[in-house]
Structure 1
Amino acid sequence: MTSYVTLAVLLLALVLSVGVYNRLITLRNRFRNAFAQIDVQLQRRYDLIPNLVDTARAYMEHEAGTLTRITEARNSADSARQRASRAPEDGVAIDALGQAETALRRSLMDFNAVVENYPELRANESIRQLMEELSSTENRVGFARQAFNDAVMFYNTYREQFPNSIIAGLFKSRFTPAEPLTLDTPEARRAPRVSF
């Protein structure tokens, strides 16, 4: 009789362990998918920025430094995005992306401030359309980042709960803690202001 009880307890523990393991896989894949949505929106934004810079270049001959900083920040952020998209569970890559995004947002805010000094540039239909698309994309990035951070929080919470933490601990290399995508400053959390 004792052997049946022991066997039943072991079987129950095995079923529970398999269930927890599979749920951890599901949650990890959800936050990876959520990062893929950020990746799409960031790529869209990175594709818009060169068009914006090229269109503005003709009007802003004396502001070449601002345009160069935007291009450099965009390239740096795109490189960080590519590293993070290969391993969204890599906290170092996610932190680097957050820092690169902060620098890019600051460059875009500087650009918006400079555009205010060029009425003919603000009136240009191409610039207006690109700025509108960029603003729309910023909102999409914000929503995608929130979905990613929610998925990361849900995964981390589930991973840390008992008895899930035991299963996650047994498979440490597969179920590492995930890092949310954060921006460094409150100013950087706001979408760039677009005004005409």
Structure 2
Amino acid sequence: MTALRRFGLVAPLAAFSLAGCGLNSVPTAEEQVNAAWGNLQADYQRRADLIPNLVSTVKGYAQQEKTVLIEVTQARASATSVKLSADDLSDPAKVQAFENAQARLSSAIIPLQRLQEAYPDLKSNQNFLALQDQLEGTENRINASRRDYNEAVQAYNTRIRTFPDAIGAKIFYGAKPKVPFAASAKAQEAPTVDFNAG
């Protein structure tokens, strides 16, 4: 009976100790990172789906900007060809490659967004303006999703590196830090917009 009593006292203590070592909190934090990543992917997909419609509309009204449209189409193809799964979020090289492809697409979109400023006839086209608003909204969603993802990564990385969760993270899960998104080097440069409208 004494051994049974000791076990009755030790079992809850062991369970409490294990719970304090990240057995539940580490997977919860990792799932939050994965959920934030899923939301970010959905926003990137929305942009990839929206761009062909925008390009088609603009083509009808801006034949003189074929170069811009080709660059956007090529950048979109490049951005959608670089895949990054939740399993790759611990690999800085894969995250950087994905981020670079998305940055090229963002850079290509800037002149397209400024078309309405350069060509008054485009301002009157309600379809163009509606798609323009959607594209701007999509870029805002992507920025918000990137921020949410980075916050989830920060919480996860902090959890797996701090006591007591670091114990369970390393022993039970072999947890590795996730890679946050950072601004690309080109983000510091102001875009040059030239429509040759001289």
Q: Which residue of 2 aligns with 1:193?
A: none
Task: Give the 3 Å change call, closer, same or farther, for CA 189–90 of structure 1 in structure 2.
Answer: farther
Distance 1:189 1:88 in 2: 29
- The answer as to whether partners of 1:84 and 1:90 remain within 8 angstroms in 2 is no
Q: Which residue of 1 aligns with 2:87?
A: 87
- The answer as to whether partners of 1:32 and 1:88 remain within 8 angstroms in 2 is no
**1:40-119 paired onto structure 2 within 5 Å:** 40-80=42-82, 83-87=83-87, 89-91=89-91, 92-119=93-120
Alignment length, in residue pairs?
A: 186
Distance 2:94 2:189 in 1: 19
Distance 1:50 1:34 in 2: 26
Q: Which residue of 1 aligns with 2:193?
A: none
Q: CA deviation at 1:152?
A: 0.5
Task: Give the 3 Å change call, closer, same or farther, for CA 160–86 of structure 1 in structure 2.
Answer: closer
Unaligned runs of 5+ in 1: 191-196
Task: Give the 3 Å change call, closer, same or farther, for CA 177–10 of structure 1 in structure 2.
Answer: farther
Q: Which residue of 1 aligns with 2:23?
A: 21
Identity %: 30
Distance 2:189 2:135 in 1: 15
Q: Which residue of 2 aligns with 1:147?
A: 148
Distance 1:103 1:26 in 2: 33
Distance 2:189 2:151 in 1: 17
Cα deviation 1:115-174 (Å, max 9, x = unaligned): 43322123211110000011111111111111111111000001100232232222464x
Q: Which residue of 2 aligns with 1:194?
A: none
Q: CA deviation at 1:86?
A: 4.8
Q: CA deviation at 1:8?
A: 7.0
**1:162-173 paired onto structure 2 within 5 Å:** 162-171=163-172, 173=174
Distance 1:86 1:60 in 2: 39
Task: Give the 3 Å change call, closer, same or farther, for CA 68–127 of structure 1 in structure 2.
Answer: same
Q: Which residue of 2 aligns with 1:39?
A: 41
Distance 1:15 1:124 in 2: 65
Q: Which residue of 1 aligns with 2:176?
A: 176
- The answer as to whether partners of 1:105 and 1:188 remain within 8 angstroms in 2 is no
User: What is the TM-score with the length of structure 2 in the denominator?
Assistant: 0.79
2:160 maps to a residue whose letter is: R
Q: Name the SS for the 2:183 alignment partner.
A: coil
